[in-house]
Amino acid sequence: MRDKIVAGNWKMNNTLDEGISLASEISNMVADEVMDDVKVVLCPPFIHLSSVSKIIEGTDKLYLGAQNCNDHTSGAYTGEISVDMLKSVGVQYVIIGHSERREYYGETNEFLMKKVDTALAAGLTPIFCCGESLEIREKGEHFDFVTNQLTESLFHLSADDFGKLVIAYEPIWAIGTGKTASKEQAQEMHEKLRAHIAGKYGEGVAEGISILYGGSCKPSNAAELFAQKDIDGGLIGGASLKSRDFVDIVKSF
């Protein structure tokens, strides 16, 4: 049985007080309403992590994730945050390779390989993001492009380490645009990714990996996406900032 996971990526939104309120609301709603066996990961900005950690401490469904980490473990990297710092405030997951970081901060497949290694070595679970632009999809190159992102950043890992990852397929054209991939488009890519993983690591590893969908996922479309056989949950941006919407997505399995 693969883990069902819904992760909320708050991005660069909310002051600390607002983040504390949002996390508290989500925590209460999840405790009262979520009966399903689902892992809910909150990924607030760095400065919220310590406070959100205290709010979710002792809950059984909520986990803490960071939106990024540095590829080095410590040292003279002004303004950066290390995996050990994240672990020291209770972080368990870390988003790596989000398309916004690839696009705005020049993160390449090769560079992301180092971040994945650093996160795994610290015992964090990477949520590794992949996904194509509209231009690539229109050229019909999306399957090759996305599978290549996995090959170049992840296929140096041992099967054991690969099995610790979570993958998030996030078509760039669907992120923050209100335009969701159809359930058929999402399922088709997830199936390709799982087959690609099976080709390298075997069916056992591929069947055990949770592959999340991300891109304008909301309460009105989450259920049909999560019902697809290769979609194991979602990475949620905009809708994770509203407690009611986010928890309704969590309840969509």
Q: Are 135 and 91 in contact (CB under 8 A)?
A: no
Q: Does 216 bind ligand PEP (CB under 6 A)?
A: yes
Q: Does 232 bind ligand PEP (CB under 6 A)?
A: no
User: Which two tokens mark 110?
Assistant: 């090769």
The residue among 100 and 230 lying less far from ligand PEP, judged by its C-beta, is 100
Catalytic status, residue 107: no
Q: Does 68 bind ligand PEP (CB under 6 A)?
A: no
Q: Does 231 bind ligand PEP (CB under 6 A)?
A: no
The residue among 186 and 197 lying less far from ligand PEP, judged by its C-beta, is 186
Residues 6+ apart with CB under 8 A from 204: none
Alpha-carbon gap, residue 120 to 75, rounded angstroms = 19
Alpha-carbon gap, residue 67 to 56, rounded angstroms = 17
Give the interface size with ligand PEP as a residue count (CB under 6 A). Answer: 13
Residue from 165, 215, 231, 249 touching ligand PEP (CB under 6 A): that is 215
Q: Are 44 and 14 in contact (CB under 8 A)?
A: yes
Which residue, among 106, 104, 113, has the nearest Cα to 148 in the 3D structure? 113
> Minimum Å distance from CB 204 to ligand PEP?
29
Alpha-carbon gap, residue 62 to 213, rounded angstroms = 19
Residues 6+ apart with CB under 8 A from 36: 4, 250, 251, 253
Question: Could you say which of 98, 142, 190, 196 is catalytic?
Answer: 98
Which residue number has the CB closest to ligand PEP?
A: 237
> Minimum Å distance from CB 199 to ligand PEP?
27
Per DSSP, helices labelled H in 57-202 are 83-88, 99-104, 109-121, 134-138, 142-154, 159-162, 183-201
> Minimum Å distance from CB 220 to ligand PEP?
13
Half-sphere exposure of 194 (CA within 13 A, CB side): 20
Site residues (CB under 6 A) for ligand PEP, limited to 150-189: 170, 175-176
Q: How far is CA 26 from CA 5, 112, 236, in A?
A: 15, 31, 14
Q: Does 235 bind ligand PEP (CB under 6 A)?
A: yes
The residue among 112 and 201 lying less far from ligand PEP, judged by its C-beta, is 112
Question: Could you say which of 107, 132, 170, 196 is catalytic?
Answer: 170
> Minimum Å distance from CB 215 to ligand PEP?
5
Site residues (CB under 6 A) for ligand PEP, limited to 109-138: none
Residues that bind ligand PEP (CB under 6 A): 9, 170, 175-176, 214-217, 235-239
Q: Show which residues are catalytic.
A: 98, 170
